[in-house]
Amino acid sequence: MSNDDFLEKIRGINENYNGTMKSLTFVVQRGAEEKKIFKWLFTPGSIDFYISFPYYHCEKYHCGTVEIPQAPVKSEVFDAVKHGVASKVPVKFSYHKDGNVHFKPTSYDADATNKGYKLASIKVDPIDQLDGSHIFTIRFEGLSKFDDLKKHKSRNGDQEVLLPVPDDIINFEIQAFAGPSQESLDGQIKEGSIPWFQISGKNPEGKPVFIGIYAILSRKSHIIDQNKNGLHVLVGFDKSRLNETKKIKSLYLFAR
């Protein structure tokens, strides 16, 4: 089954999720198991949004800033643990209308030393000025460290988005793009492709903002060690010095 077949199946399952959204919980369904991956939260009357990762469990969550070469060099290795700030509790990122993006712990009480503390932050172009631009990528492999979905609870603006996959899919990549129209989101992964899921809103001046989600699924492991579980997030892409440095600056989350 091709990626296009997956996406068509997903659209059919999720086509009835309409109306005002308070939150979206992304769920992977593989065989008999259903796993909660992340929660996407919205602010009423605003295009600010937040994505939280309370369902992935490990000892530490490392957040920081990375410079991504425009033309990646295979020999370069970035140490996300060494260069990041660690949180003992799950984290979330906030993406604000003005382009301010940051990571914070989801629970200050559980780790008092991080109270009110931004683990990492960046300033990028305002979200309502983007034109089909990449805004975040969420990669994960293995499902055993994610919480089980015990009961479906889509109601009153708190919805679930279901990603059904074959039993042999082990690697997942969710990419998001933002722009002023549905058309600005098309063809971002490959020519002729369209998002499998999208949401829309308006800025305070009434300008529309669309966000489209693409899913890239793989049967191949991207992890070389014994622990075949991982969560890796990139969010906010600063290209202001791209011509000078040939690199794009971004925030990251790394958790194993």
pLDDT digit string, tens, across residues 87-138:
999 999 999 999 999 999 987 554 445 456 799 999 999 999 999 999 999 9
CA 101 from centroid of its chain's CA atoms:
13
CA 229 to CA 146: how far, in whole Å? 10
Residue type, 30: R
pLDDT digit string, tens, across residues 237-246:
999 999 999 9
- Predicted confidence at residue 1, as pLDDT, reads 35
Query: Which two three-digit tokens encode residue 73?
Result: 């060099």
pLDDT digit string, tens, across residues 11-39:
454 444 445 678 899 999 999 999 999 99
pLDDT digit string, tens, across residues 174-219:
999 999 999 999 999 999 999 988 888 888 899 999 999 999 999 9
Radius of gyration of the chain (CA): 18
Q: How many CA atoms lie less than 13 Å away from 116 in the CB half-sphere?
A: 0
The percentage of the chain sitting over the pLDDT mark of 90, rounded to a whole number, equals 69
Report how far apart, in Å, the C-alpha atoms of 142 and of each of 22, 56, 120, 238, 240 are: 28, 11, 26, 30, 35
- Predicted confidence at residue 45, as pLDDT, reads 81
Q: State the sign of the Cα–Cα–Cα–Cα dihedral 189, 132, 197, 38.
A: positive
- Predicted confidence at residue 59, as pLDDT, reads 95
CA 8 from centroid of its chain's CA atoms:
21
- Any idea what the Cα angle at residue 230 is, between residues 34 and 118, rounded to 5°? 105
Mean pLDDT of 41-67: 94
Mean pLDDT of 169-174: 96
Phi-psi region of 158 (alpha: psi -120 to 50; beta: other; left: phi over 0): beta
Q: Which domain holds residue 151?
A: 3-255
- How many separate domains does the chain show? 1
CA 59 to CA 40: how far, in whole Å? 23
